[in-house]
Structure 1
């Protein structure tokens, strides 16, 4: 049995600190925090072997509220710190908490590399399509027309798609969830079960600067029609099973069909091409794909580094003095004191 599972049972309260949670009333971050705290007892991990690492932004206060080890680092650099933690102690369970601005703007390069390297960690990207902490500027994921202090006439930028970015960077696990949805803990559990970099985009509502931006698919009255929750080995059905997703073989694109159509696709999370199609699924008449979009494990970065170190060190004896004396070296002799 892995050492991480040899622990006593915990509850959600055991994972919560005594710190005052300081987000705006109604912020979606509260729901994500509770979902994570409820999920942790089911993962079979120890608090003293768990680390939450964050960058800068509203979501990055997260480590203060988890009764674990944690690092509140600098803007966009959480993946770099997390990599150092995992290499120093691969037994640690590492979570990266970030936002759309933190991870995809100044931190885009770091996010790309932690994904392509496949570090064993969970990356939770809170996407509210706005810079909340710095008072509502448009972010890399803000939609065209977004009015903000930095784009008072409406943004003309083409937004980044976090999951498309992750797939393009070589991520082996890509998923989506919604801050207040009951299925979020299941997505978190699937991410944790994956060995390697598990990327989870969480649609998170910013009640102050971008309220209800996701309402077209999260509002209760349209949820069934606009949400496609994916489950491995099950048909891609939505709208209470009356509609499904099929593949148009002529155009290699997805189409909406009746739920009883034999062409309805069965979800295979190891199918990378299908994951790309689901991420890029057009909005008009199509639902938003949620849950685990892609899951196809590969060897992890830290495992490769440790194996390489072990191979290189095999049969060698550590000799610090020999290392220091190697190459050009000299001895500084003490000059005799003049009488």
Structure 2
């Protein structure tokens, strides 16, 4: 396997980054550009094999800031187009930059069916719980009761939880990070790239103009995040808190937050994270956790290998058909069956 010695600068384009000052997208862009040199070495992918596809939205400017091949597609169709790119060019490392409005509203069917098919794509889902590019309408992840330009009296719709949606659609990889946690985002993206099959990394992102501090109840600063989020890593205990003194246990078919050393609970009682468990029950519970009842789960929540990878299955099928077919060229096709000559 080659060592390419790329740096983040190798993946930065010469375009001026034109997101609002303070937008969380800047931090996500930095995390991706830091991750790709490591991804290149870990997956033996040279620079010219990286391709980014986006839909429509603030996040979809992403491709212009990456020094890679890119395709700026239409609203909601990024996952469909990326499926075609990967299936036609299986040696490419294909990434999708998309938002909660782009992939969960108009693009909802493309999103869940790409997950169901387990296409070998790496999806970065920017979730700021608002439509930013079109100036502040509520999105499929906006909180119930949220007042926006299209819900002046508050939304009456329950929001999607992207993690539950991904796992419910038979997803094999789901991770979550926060825009400010650049190193954690990078860690999740490297793990996503190594995964065979579709990966979805949700990045909880702040829109300073139209939905400022939407994640602030648990992500405002490092001290808040330590107490109100839990970073999961495979094989490690599910502990959190400033002193790492809190943990998750499983009692009466439910998750429960406990303080280690109190009420008889010890570290041995705390769950150990198994991201590779095929059963979805616990992963679904972890993805669904919400503050204040639970800490919000970050890190790689689910990472399950599945031999049924769509683009690989298509490639095998094509080779099998070609091997059995008596026709191997267009000329042979034209001369097969009944033919005649016009004079």
TM range (shorter): over 0.9
| Residue of structure 1 equivalent to 2:269 | 263
CA distance in 2, matches of 1:294, 1:198: 9
- 8 Å CA contact 1:47, 1:69 repeated in 2: no
- 8 Å CA contact 1:172, 1:197 repeated in 2: yes
CA distance in 2, matches of 1:92, 1:274: 33
1:58-207 alignment, distance < 5 Å = 58-181=58-181, 182-207=183-208
Aligned with residue 302 of structure 1, among 289, 311, 331 = 311
Aligned with residue 288 of structure 1, among 293, 296, 308 = 296
Per-residue CA deviations over 1:22-71 (Å, capped at 9, x if unaligned) read 10110000000011111111112322100000000000011100000000
| Residue of structure 1 equivalent to 2:7 | 11
Per-residue CA deviations over 1:240-296 (Å, capped at 9, x if unaligned) read 211100111x2x111111224232100000232210110122433310000000010
CA distance in 2, matches of 1:80, 1:282: 31
Residues 92 and 7 (structure 1), Cα distance of their counterparts in 2 relative to 1, 3 Å cut: farther
CA distance in 1, matches of 2:16, 2:114: 31
- 8 Å CA contact 2:228, 2:291 repeated in 1: no
- 8 Å CA contact 1:36, 1:188 repeated in 2: yes
Structure 1 residue 8 displacement after superposition: 2.9
CA distance in 2, matches of 1:170, 1:263: 30
Per-residue CA deviations over 1:99-124 (Å, capped at 9, x if unaligned) read 00000000000001111111111100
| Residue of structure 2 equivalent to 1:337 | none
**TM-score under structure 1 length normalisation:** 0.92
Backbone CA RMSD of aligned residues? 1.6
Corresponding position: 1:318 with 2:337: no
CA distance in 2, matches of 1:212, 1:282: 16
Q: Secondary structure at the match of 1:180?
A: coil
Larger Rg belongs to: 1
CA distance in 2, matches of 1:122, 1:224: 28
CA distance in 2, matches of 1:284, 1:327: 70
CA distance in 1, matches of 2:336, 2:157: 55
Q: Secondary structure at the match of 2:142?
A: coil
CA distance in 2, matches of 1:189, 1:319: 41
- 8 Å CA contact 2:147, 2:153 repeated in 1: yes
| Residue of structure 2 equivalent to 1:22 | 18
CA distance in 1, matches of 2:112, 2:185: 24
Gaps of 5+ in 1: 335-339
Structure 1 residue 321 displacement after superposition: 3.9
**TM-score under structure 2 length normalisation:** 0.91
| Residue of structure 2 equivalent to 1:244 | 247
Per-residue CA deviations over 1:177-218 (Å, capped at 9, x if unaligned) read 011113111111111111110111100000000000101111
